[in-house]
Chain A
Amino acid sequence: MTLAVREGLRNPGHAPTTPFADLEDAQVVQSFLDGHDRAFDELVARYQVRLLNFIYRTVGDRERAEDLVQEVFIRIYRHLHRFDQTKKFSTWAYTIASNLAKNELRNRSRNPLVLFQTIKRHWEADHRPLQFEDSSSRPDDLFRKRHLRELVEQSVSQLPEHHRVVFVLRELEGKTYEEIAEITGCNLGTVKSRLNRARNNFATIIAPHLD
């Protein structure tokens, strides 16, 4: 661990010869701890979109998800000097994001009205991001696809919080069972059990609408 102080008091020493973009996460982290502030920009660039999509799929509110991603990076900035560099940085970042997302859902559950408004917003077409649909498809197919997308989003939002986190980490983020166990702080058996239930719930919600 090196002694380093932020904001003008750092002594970066020699600049790295390899661009940060070509370094592994562990090397970028070490560069930052050695005093190269730009290394943190590289970490932000690598993880901002991934964390945003993970948190957005978990909490369902894009603006709030962006606030939470900012909070993730603030916490990483504060505590990076205490990060155990034998572990994966990615797992640590996702752990912080997962905890913040779970806290957000728990805070919302105390105010059902807020939850309703958040879901309702996604039902309105003019609040959704622009999507260029396949113009060669038939209109009823397009309608069915749009309906299916809304249904899928709604199904994910209806999953219980601890199922939803595991489901998103596995299906969307592609995390392994071991990584999910580390991120959520659960053992492997619990992860498998929650994932299984999440998939069951998800399919149960969707299946009747596919007829």
Chain B
Amino acid sequence: MNCCEFREKYSDFADGLLTSQENAEVGFHLAVCAACRRFDAALRLGVDTLRALPGVGVSRTFGARLRRRLRGEFVVQVPVVARWSGVVGTLLLVAAVGVIGWDRMESRATRHAAAWPTNGWNPAPLAVNDQAPLYRSARVTPVEPRFEAFHPLNSILIVEETRPAMAGDPARVDIPAVWGGP
């Protein structure tokens, strides 16, 4: 056995994986080769020193930090069979939320335009004049606005009657200054 062969077999020798004959060959080479003997001694000493090094422990805050991070985790375990149905269901839910959110955005834009001052006046039905902005003033009841208004990107303010007139409805609708009212 030469030194190259010794180095190739050394790992298995150190782990006790050689046959008895191979062990004998390695042992004989160690006995006659000073360089490989030095190599063996260096590795054994190095590994022993490495194993004797003090281990490190976790810091005092490790557990608290880990718990804080885990609290943010939300894991849902589903049976393997239901995995794809869960994906489809999630997509449908996202789509439904998107549709609802879009619808709310639309009605919010509409309701914002209808944030009339509330002092109890009910307007008469207003005619839509597509030639000039409307400057009728009117007031609506706060509980159930009778009119909705929207401003479709031009100078026209369109006021729509959303329910029939009732007793006690105010006679006037005040148009806020933002829409060109007084």
Contacts and interface: CB of A to CB of B under 8 A. Distances in A.
Contact of B73 (A6, A49, A52, A172): A6
Contact of B42 (A81, A177, A206): A206
Given A48-B62, A131-B54, 15 more contacts: A2-B77, A3-B77, A53-B55, A77-B73, A81-B75, A148-B49, A153-B50, A155-B46, A172-B50, A177-B15, A196-B8, A199-B10, A202-B46, A206-B45, A210-B41
B66 A44 contact: yes
A72 B75 CA distance: 16
Given A77-B70, A149-B49, A152-B50, A49 B75 contact: no
A69 B51 CA distance: 21
B86 to A, nearest CB: 11
29 contacts: A5-B75, A6-B74, A44-B66, A48-B58, A49-B55, A52-B56, A66-B58, A66-B62, A69-B62, A70-B62, A70-B69, A74-B66, A74-B73, A149-B49, A149-B53, A152-B53, A153-B53, A155-B46, A156-B50, A171-B50, A172-B51, A177-B15, A195-B11, A196-B7, A199-B10, A202-B43, A202-B47, A203-B43, A206-B46
Interface of A: 1-7, 33, 40, 44, 48-49, 52-53, 56, 62, 65-66, 69-70, 73-74, 77-78, 81, 129, 131, 148-149, 152-153, 155-156, 171-172, 177, 192, 195-196, 199-200, 202-204, 206-207, 210
Contact of B11 (A81, A149, A155, A199): A199
A70 B49 contact: no
Q: How large is the interface on B (under 10, 10 to 19, 20 to 34, 35 or more residues)?
A: 35 or more
Contacts of B70: 40, 73-74, 77
A192 B11 contact: yes
Contacts of B51: 171-172
Contacts of B53: 149, 152-153
B59 A66 contact: yes
B58 A69 contact: yes
B71 A7 contact: yes
B135 interface: no
SS class, residues of chain B in contact with chain A: helix
B5 to A, nearest CB: 12
SS class, residues of chain A in contact with chain B: helix
Contacts of B80: 1
Nearest to B63: A44
B76 interface: yes
B12 interface: yes
Contacts of A74: 66, 69-70, 73
Contacts of A177: 15
Contacts of A200: 7, 10
A49 B46 contact: no
Contact of B78 (A3, A207, A210): A3
| A-B residue pairs, 9 tightest by C-beta | A207-B42, A196-B11, A81-B77, A203-B43, A206-B46, A203-B42, A152-B49, A206-B42, A53-B55
Given A1-B79, A3-B78, A52-B56, A78 B46 contact: no
Given A44-B66, A192-B11, A200-B7, A5 B77 contact: yes
B173 to A, nearest CB: 50
